[in-house]
Structure 1
Amino acid sequence: MKVGKVPTEVLEEIIFKNILHKRSEILVRPGIGEDCAVVDFGENVCVMSTDPITGAVKDIGSLSIHISCNDVASNGVEPVGVMMTILAPVGTTKEDLDYVMKEANKAAASINVEIIGGHSEITDAVNRMVITTTAVGIQKKDSMVTSKGAKAGDAIIMTKHAGLEGTAIIAADLEDRLKGKIEPKIIEDARGFSEDISVVKEGILAGEIGVNSMHDVTEGGLLGALWELAEASKVGIEIYEKRIPIRPETSAICKALSIDPLRLISSGVMVMAVSPEKKQRLVDTFQKEGIAATEIGKIIEGERVLVKNSIRQVLEAPEIDELYKVI
């Protein structure tokens, strides 16, 4: 198989198929488009998500915190704690670990999350540092938001701009390859995108307003996340390419490396399906809080399409993320 997430068909045929034992307390189980598990704790539920950081070198400490907390936020809940596992290659120094932990602590403090445990190890099983985090949140049972609730007629809202995380990673880790192709100021500004990786704030706000479905945009990029949201809800989706916001820095970097910004890893972006009645309130709330929000399409019956230059193209399941084509 190719580098990146295990393909959807393999997840269904092998991974999910072999998860056989069930417990009644589990309310949300593994599925396409579902990044969180939900466990019944009576009036409350425990929401958990785990993710590794494998595609970045610099900023790995902060990214590791945000990526799993973003998943929990996609259920409309505030994460409260993170467990962190660090697998570091032979030759890692105390200074390397100190830098990573200071980054992680700073990121955790920025979203009011505590690092509550984990594991750290030097091992020859990896040739660069790999960090996996598991985030935990608590939520009232009647306030649950999942990826499965999208309904025909819902508007699709995305926050921020496509390719956000991938742009920041490339600018930080591949600066030497970009020099001579892109203005230094553009690279510097693109690195700054890492400050917008968290979607915890918009996830909590959307949960309070009551969206029907929510999914943070990670590997596979914006189009991959939209396909997963539609797949989880078993609905169609119609997305208008010309409405999708892409920053000039992302366009310049993607053009220089011949990659597609719409299929580039985009932590920091949240996509939501919301009823027409709540759509404007959601957008106004985000804008009041300084979060850019754009309506880019709608949930429909049947087909899943991207409308590009008035031509309807089939929206395919996510494959290898564009980031892995260049790192």
Structure 2
Amino acid sequence: MKSGKLNWDDLKGLINNNKSVKRDEVRVRNGVGEDCSVIDFGEYECVISTDPITGAAENIGRLAVHVNCNDVASCGVDPMAILVTILAPENTTFEEINDVMKQIDEETSKINVEIIGGHTEITSAVNRIVVSCTVLGKCISGKAVSTAGAQIGDDIVVTKSLALEGTNIIVNDKIEKLKDVLTKEEINEAKEYINKISVIMEGKVSGKFGVNSMHDITEGGVLGALWELADASNVGFKVYEDRMPVTAVTKKVCKVFNIDPLKLISSGSMIITTKNGEELVKLLMKNGINSTIIGNITNDEGILVKELEGEVIVPQPERDELFSI
């Protein structure tokens, strides 16, 4: 099998064929496109998400924190606690593991999330450090927003710029190939993208505003995330290539490696669907967050309107473009 997420049909079968127990307390359970589970504890409910970092060599501690906290924030919920598992190959030094934990501590300090447990192990099962985290959040019962809530006619809003995470990873890991293509200022800009990958603020603002669904954009890029959201909500979508917010630096990096920024891992951006996209865009801007309406939820297939080719059907996502480099 190739690196990256499992084929979506295989993944759906894997999930659906292994649900022997279904407890009444679980309000939102696992499914393709649903990054969080929600457990009802009466007055409050607990929102939980887990993810590893496998596609980056640099900043893995920082990425692990935000990728997982972003999932919880996509429910409109403040992340409050994190558990950390670090698996390191046999040649790893203590200083390297300590550096990863320092990154995790620094990033959780910024967003007021407590490290409450985890596991650290040296093992021959991996050939580089792998970090996997589980994040918990709490909200009033019934208030968590799911991926599966998109409704026909909703505006589709994306926040910030797409492929920030992917661009940052590529520039850090492939600097030798890019240093003659990008200016020093562009390299610095790409490295600063690591500071923009949290979506906690837009999650909080949108949750209070009242939206139908939210989904953070990770592996598979914006097109993969749209497909996941549509599949979870049993709807379609129509989005426009010329409305997609992609920075000039990201376009340059993607051109060098002949990859599509719309299919590149994009932590730092969130998809939000709502009946009133223009008002949400204004509210997000008041809170310092740029956002763009890229299309609408439909009752048909997922469609991308391309500048040169016209309307094309968006297929189920394959592995992220990052793994093609």
Partner Cα distance (2:22, 2:124) in 1: 35
Partner of 1:322: 321
Q: CA deviation at 1:110?
A: 1.3
Unaligned runs of 5+ in 1: none
Aligned to 2:272: 272
Q: CA deviation at 1:94?
A: 1.6
Distance of 2:160 and 2:315 partners within structure 1: 23
The RMSD of aligned alpha carbons is: 1.1
Aligned to 1:313: 312
Name the residue aligned to 2:110.
110
Where 1:152 maps in the other structure, the secondary structure is coil
Structure 1 residue aligned with 2:285: 287
Aligned to 1:74: 74
Post-superposition CA distance 1:173-212 (Å, at most 9, x none): 1111212233232122111101001001111111111110
Letter in 1 for 2:318: E
Number of residue pairs matched by the alignment: 324
Partner residue of 2:181?
181
Letter in 2 for 1:202: E
Is structure 2 residue 100 aligned with structure 1 residue 119? no
**Offset of residue 270 of structure 1:** 0.3
Q: Deviations over 1:61-80 (max 9, x none)?
A: 11111111000011110000
Deviation at 1:14, TM superposition (A): 2.4
CA deviations 1:96-117 (Å, max 9, x no partner) are 1221111111111111111111
The 8 Å contact of residues 156 and 297 in structure 2, kept in 1 or not, is answered as yes
SS of 1:148 mapped into structure 2: helix
Given that 2:15 and 2:30 are in contact with CA atoms closer than 8 Å, whether structure 1 keeps it comes out as: no
2:198 maps to 198
Which range is displaced more, 157-166 or 140-149?
Answer: 140-149
Aligned counterparts of 1:17 and 1:191: Cα–Cα separation in 2: 42
C-alpha separation in 1, matches of 2:87 and 2:318: 26
Mean Cα displacement is larger for which, 226-235 or 89-98?
89-98
Aligned match of 1:152: 152
Partner of 1:303: 301
Question: Is 1:43 the counterpart of 2:40 in the alignment?
Answer: no
**Cα pair 1:153 1:299 within 8 Å, conserved:** yes
Matched with 1:94 is 94
What is the CA deviation profile of residues 227-252 of structure 1, one whole-angstrom value per residue up to 9, with x for unaligned ones?
11111100010001101110011001
Correspondence for 1:32: 32
- Alignment TM-score, normalising by the size of structure 2: 0.97
Q: Output the CA distance in 1 between the equivalents of 2:12 and 2:151.
A: 23
Q: What is the CA distance between 1:19 and its match in structure 2? A: 2.2
Contact 2:304 2:314 in 1 (8 A): yes
177-186 or 90-99, which moves further after superposition? Answer: 177-186
Q: Deviations over 1:26-56 (max 9, x none)?
A: 1111111100011110021100000000001
Percent of aligned pairs with the same residue? 49
> Match of 1:267, as an amino acid?
S
CA shift digits 1:267-312 (9 cap, x unpaired) = 0100010013xx2331112101111110000011112100112711
Structure 1 CA distance for aligned equivalents of residues 216 and 96 of structure 2? 29
SS at match of 2:142: helix
1:98 aligned partner, one-letter code: N
Partner residue, 2:11 = 11
Displacement after TM superposition at 1:18 (Å): 1.7
CA contact (8 A) 2:154 2:274 kept: yes
How high is the TM-score relative to the length of structure 1? 0.97
Structure 2 gap segments, 5+ residues each? none
Q: Does the CA-based 8 Å contact 1:171-1:188 persist in structure 2?
A: no
Contact kept in structure 2, 1:182 and 1:256, CA below 8 Å: no
Q: For the Cα contact (< 8 Å) 2:36–2:49, is it kept in 1?
A: yes
